Amino acid sequence: MSFLLKGAQDGVNRLLFAKLHDEYATRGLKILAFPCNQFGAQEPGTEEEILEFVKKYDEKMAEKLVFFEKGSVNGSDTREVFAYLKEKLPDDDGTTAIRWNFNKFLVDHTGTPIKRFVPTVAPFDMKDDIESLLKKKEGGN
């Protein structure tokens, strides 16, 4: 998932990602956070500043999500992981570019990209898809 920490949706997304972690971490859910400053320069801080900001609102947040260093999700210096995810899961209109903060990618335990979510999809709206993947991983239907 592309995860921006200081965007307009920050508070809701942060809270709901933490709740998803609390609900599903014991079953294998990992939430990866990739800070990016490509959308309205809304994430200008260093990695240390980003983590400090997160800790102000939830001391455990830095432990609940796996934070990566800030990088690009579009353009010539796109992180490899996003080049791969965008190629495998373009938007519904076929566009591969990430258009704004909080695009989310659901990836199974083998690294296979399963679904892409637009920024307006709240983390809890992903629960059915998460539950389905975890059941498959656990050997259920």
User: CB neighbours (10 Å) of residue 68?
Assistant: 15
Query: Residue 63: what pLDDT?
Result: 81
Give the integer Cα–Cα distance in Å for 23 and 1.
Answer: 18
Whether 2 is covered by a domain: the verdict is no
Whether 141 is covered by a domain: the verdict is no
Q: Which structural domain, as residue segments, surrounds residue 50?
A: 10-135
Query: Residue 119: what pLDDT?
Result: 86
Q: How many domains are contained in the chain?
A: 1
Half-sphere exposure of 96 (CA within 13 A, CB side): 12
Query: Residue 9: what pLDDT?
Result: 52
- Residue 28 CA from chain centroid, whole number: 16
Whether 5 is covered by a domain: the verdict is no
Whether 3 is covered by a domain: the verdict is no
Q: Can you tell me whether residue 64 is helix, strand or coil? A: helix
Q: Can you tell me whether residue 59 is helix, strand or coil? A: coil
Query: Residue 140: what pLDDT?
Result: 66
pLDDT greater than 70 at residue 76: yes
Q: Can you tell me whether residue 98 is helix, strand or coil? A: coil
**Each residue's pLDDT tens digit, 79-126:** 999 999 999 999 889 989 998 888 899 999 899 999 999 888 888 999
Whether 106 is covered by a domain: the verdict is yes
Give the integer Cα–Cα distance in Å for 21 and 33.
Answer: 12
**Each residue's pLDDT tens digit, 3-48:** 334 444 566 677 788 889 999 999 999 999 888 889 887 777 888 8
Alpha helix (H) residue ranges in 25-79: 47-57, 61-64
**CATH label of the domain that carries residue 126:** 3.40.30.10
Query: Residue 3: what pLDDT?
Result: 39
